[in-house]
Structure 1
């Protein structure tokens, strides 16, 4: 009995992340804070675990209205959809709501900007602007930091261990006949 309990506790302590981890966004296209020089044709969100049916996302334009997205599909860890119309210049948001592999609903937001250059009268002016944009993009790479989804896992692990210990102790005491 003691060996079984010890083995169970060791397993719970060794594998809590894989058992209790929540789904989180790993990468996206467009990515957080990305500045695009042309309208994206597709939105792709990739998560660290399988995404369940019922998951969705919405693209919001600079004036706060939804943009049409067609063919939203879920394939294992990916959620994607096509944009049938070109996006105009401005700041956009992707609001996503998914159901993770653990059954928990999770939501998030990604911001990106579409900067479509106006036609210039001179090709030289256009080339200078594009070169400056490329230099600034090279100098200031955008890094997306994902916060770990593990803090709730530790609390869940502790709660489960305590519950198992209480149950095992209860049955142990009953078996020994100490509760009357």
Structure 2
């Protein structure tokens, strides 16, 4: 019994020591031009995303017009904490959606969406953009591997106890 308590205590200390590493956060969007939710007269020719930390290349930007059509995007570049992209002209009135995907300084991909509305131009039927995936949907593989690792850990902790019970029976 003493051996089991010692093993469980050492495993708990090891888990605490491994879990106490430095925290690293992913990059997050702190601003954009045009601003998220803003209302502007005409569609912009350039989009700028500003993050809280430096961003690596490549960076990806996609823009959808109010009718749901893709708007051509070129010259996407990431310099320090800023991503810029040149956007083809669009003369549609309504809500535009810009989606970005970048790599943060810690190497993890970060993605998000901003919207803005233009107040002048050709009136078209507004097409709703697809809903963003939920946190659980995006991280389902992490949950799977975490549950599997927990099951293996419990099995490794309980395995010595099972062998001990078999030996104690007459």
TM-score by length of 2: 0.56
Which structure has the highest strand share of the two? 2
* Structure 2 unaligned residues grouped into runs of 5+: 1-16, 123-170
Aligned pair in 2 of structure 1 residues 64, 77: CA closer, same or farther (>3 Å)?
A: same
* Partner in structure 2 of residue 88 of structure 1: 92
* Partner in structure 2 of residue 106 of structure 1: 110
Deviation track 1:29-49 (CA, whole Å, cap 9, x = no partner) reads: 011110011221210001011
User: Equivalences for 1:27-176 in 2 at 5 Å?
Assistant: 27-116=31-120
Aligned pair in 2 of structure 1 residues 77, 110: CA closer, same or farther (>3 Å)?
A: same
What is the total number of aligned residue pairs between the two structures?
104
Relative contact order, CA 8 A, sep 6+: which one is greater? 1
Structure 1: distance between partners of 2:109 and 2:69: 24
Aligned pair in 2 of structure 1 residues 87, 46: CA closer, same or farther (>3 Å)?
A: farther
Please give the root-mean-square deviation of Cα atoms over the aligned residues, in Å: 2.0
The CA deviation at 1:116 is 0.7
* Structure 1 unaligned residues grouped into runs of 5+: 1-8, 119-180
